[in-house]
Chain A
């Protein structure tokens, strides 16, 4: 990144001024991540129906946030970097959720008006 040397915005990104994280913090985060790993394995054994996946994803999201915030140093980073992180997540959500919306609502139309050759029922929608 030596090319960065000319950059005016460089001082703001300030990699050389990044505060040195405390070892205690890092180890604490590590411990938390390990605990969460056990937690998620344990919770998956409990029958929660639809909520199993929700809990699993929430725990994963928490772990990922910890890694990003502390290990990847987002807590020291610029607004721009944070914006990029959020953008990655939002775009992932756009991809997954909009695609998912198609599949999860496919049945809606047809159950409302079941196909039938039957002439006596229902109102024709013209």
Chain B
């Protein structure tokens, strides 16, 4: 190993070369480290409050429990899920996939990471000071008037982190428009890029509304004047409207990039062009648009006007269509393919299964009558964890396993990774499937204690959570191990198509020695070279 090749990781040295970098790949790594930390902060809280629910009367105090679940939600949603794939994998891959040297605004990209860190520091500060107990939804007037916890600090964190998300989205949009290599037409764009482009649109259009909402809430809390307080003629429901105008589309900020990852993985490990490329691409755009007109389904039992609720219910069913299209297309992509069972593909299987369940249970919540019966119960909790964790986290891990050789130039131990995938799948289902049953039984969410007849299902769920927790630790360990000890990866360990596999692993600082000219579509799997035996990995 005397003559190691120069790549983005070893091109320059020293902490300054990382903290002042404008290289999208290094910024992606900075993000990866930060969000992994946040994931484990949020995850630890989840494990703790699941332990609390082992006994009907709870183990911790109500105060502790309320803070745990609130901070779990805030950390996971705003500091893990929203930036997860866009800020890491997409940040790393979008320029490479479209044949560019970097994003359109490299310095803004770095700025967005710093803004994220400032937001995260606020959130961490709130946790250390004693936490916040409003739930991640910050509903007024509880958050603005009644809560005695560190609402302002946490809200500030969310407000600031929002700008990091806006800047990431803005950067992606401009990059995809302006930085494509010659010949990289829209119909040749990888589906991952399409998905992140759609995500960028949601980030840019939705996040500012969250920002102003949180700001108004902060004014109300600081100065005791505001517009949500019913004591002075305000309407607390308005907070929910503005909050969900962002936060429902935000669900798609979280899941769309995951769908992009799955499209790439399924195509690669089936050795096939994705079935219905156009439909997958346009369904991403369709989701981005429709996601903005369904937020009222979070408010069917709040006293929202009946006809508005009916309209929102209808629109919510509409948004299910493009999601269904994607699932069908991934399945159809395997038809007459050449399917291999590498770890990323296992995660893709997991994603398709869990997302299907998550999506279908969403129909229960779009339908007005069954929403009333399940609103605010564990049914909701199970539903969105199937989408967010079963969907997004599976896709994130799948993508990480897929591109890890490209990112680090190292392979991870395959047996361990398959084992971890199985553990996560089993642990996940054991954790969250019982919650569907609990939900229809009526167990409300955010309860630190519950009637004893719900105990059995809660114990099952907690058992699952501990399995899931271990499942998430295993990849963490072998990924860390592989950076130092993993066998070296070739430029294209999966024999995959796509620009990112045609450059070295890890890529050089400027990705391409010269700007590539694209002459074929992203998924040209029609060739013998995709079936050559995998190159022997060199230790």
Contact B306 A109 (CB under 8 A): yes
Q: For the complex, what is the distance from the CA of A103 to the CA of B241, rounded to whole Å?
A: 11
Pair A7/B179 contact, Cβ less than 8 Å: yes
Say whether A124 faces chain B, with CB atoms less than 8 Å apart: no
Q: In the complex, A102 Cα to B305 Cα: how many Å?
A: 5
Q: Which of A67-126 contact B (CB under 8 A)?
A: 80, 87, 91, 94-95, 98-99, 101-106, 108-109
B296 contacts A8, C-beta separation under 8 Å: no
For A95, list chain B residues within 8 Å (CB): 209, 245
Whether a CB of chain B sits under 8 angstroms from the CB of A22 is no
Please, what's the 1-or-0 string for B365-402, where 1 marks a CB less than 8 Å from any CB in chain A? 00000000000000000000000000000000000000
Interface string of B91-107 (1 = CB under 8 A from A): 00000000011101110
Residues on A with beta carbons closer than 8 Å to the beta carbon of B104? 3-4
B307 nearest CB neighbor, chain A only: A105
Nearest to A103 among chain B residues (CB) is B305
Within the assembled complex, what's the spacing in Å between the Cα atoms of A77 and B493? Answer: 45
Cross-chain pair count, CB within 8 angstroms = 64
Q: Give CA–CA (A104, B312) in the complex, Å.
A: 15
The answer to whether A108 and B306 touch across the interface, beta carbons within 8 angstroms, is: yes
Tell which of A3, A7, A13, A104 has the most Cβ of chain B within 10 Å. A3
Residues of B within 8 A of A103 (CB): 235, 305
The residue on A at minimum CB distance from B180 is A8
Which residue of the partner chain, among A6, A13, A99, A109, contacts B241 with CB atoms under 8 Å? A99
CB neighbours (8 Å) of A80 from chain B are 177
Complex: how many Å from CA A102 to CA B299?
A: 10
Interchain nearest-CB distance for B3 vs A (Å): 31
Whether a CB of chain A sits under 8 angstroms from the CB of B304 is yes
A19 at the interface (CB under 8 A from B): no
Most buried by A among B178, B179, B296: B178
Measured between beta carbons, the chain B residues less than 8 angstroms from A91 are 205, 292
Residues of B within 8 A of A49 (CB): none
For chain B, the count of residues having a C-beta within 8 Å of the partner chain is 33
Within the complex, what minimum Cβ distance (angstroms) separates A82 from chain B?
Answer: 14
Q: Choose from A6, A99, A105 the contact partner of B306 (Cβ within 8 Å).
A: A105
Tell whether A17 is near chain B: CB-to-CB under 8 Å: no
Mask, B285-297, CB within 8 Å of A = 1, is: 0000000110110
Q: Is there contact, CB below 8 Å, between A98 and B305? A: no
The closest CB in chain B to the CB of A110 belongs to: B306
Decide: B308 and A101 in contact? CB cutoff 8 A.
yes
Is the CB of B181 closer than 8 A to any CB of chain A? yes
If the complex has contacts A6-B100, A99-B241, are A108 and B305 also in contact, measured as CB distance less than 8 A? yes
Question: Which residues in A have their C-beta under 8 angstroms from that of B205?
Answer: 87, 91
In the complex, the answer to whether B238 meets A99 with C-beta atoms within 8 Å is: yes
Residue B515 lies at the interface, judged by CB distance under 8 Å to chain A: yes
Interface string of B171-182 (1 = CB under 8 A from A): 000000111111
B238-258: which residues lie under 8 A (CB-CB) from chain A? 238, 241-242, 245
**A6/B305 contact (C-beta < 8 A), A80-B177, A95-B209 known:** no
CA distance A63 to B409 in the complex (A): 57
Are A105 and B515 touching (Cβ within 8 A)? no
Q: Which of B105, B304, B308 has the most CB of A within 10 A?
A: B308
Task: Known A98-B293, A109-B306; judge A8-B102 contact (CB<8 A).
Answer: no
* CA of A91 to CA of B304, assembled, Å: 21
Bound form: Cα–Cα A80–B201 in Å? 14
B105 contacts which chain A residues (CB < 8 A)?
3
Nearest A-chain residue to B103, judged by Cβ: A3
8 contacts between A and B (CB under 8 A): A6-B515, A7-B179, A9-B177, A9-B178, A95-B245, A102-B241, A103-B235, A106-B303
Q: Which 6 A-B pairs have the closest CB atoms?
A: A7-B178, A105-B305, A106-B305, A102-B308, A99-B241, A109-B306
Known contacts A6-B101, A106-B303; 10 additional CB pairs below 8 A are: A3-B104, A9-B177, A91-B205, A91-B292, A95-B209, A98-B296, A98-B312, A99-B241, A102-B296, A108-B306
Residues of A within 8 A of B (CB): 3-4, 6-10, 13, 80, 87, 91, 94-95, 98-99, 101-106, 108-109
B-side interface residues toward A, CB under 8 Å? 100-102, 104-106, 177-182, 205, 209, 235, 237-238, 241-242, 245, 292-293, 295-296, 303-308, 311-312, 515
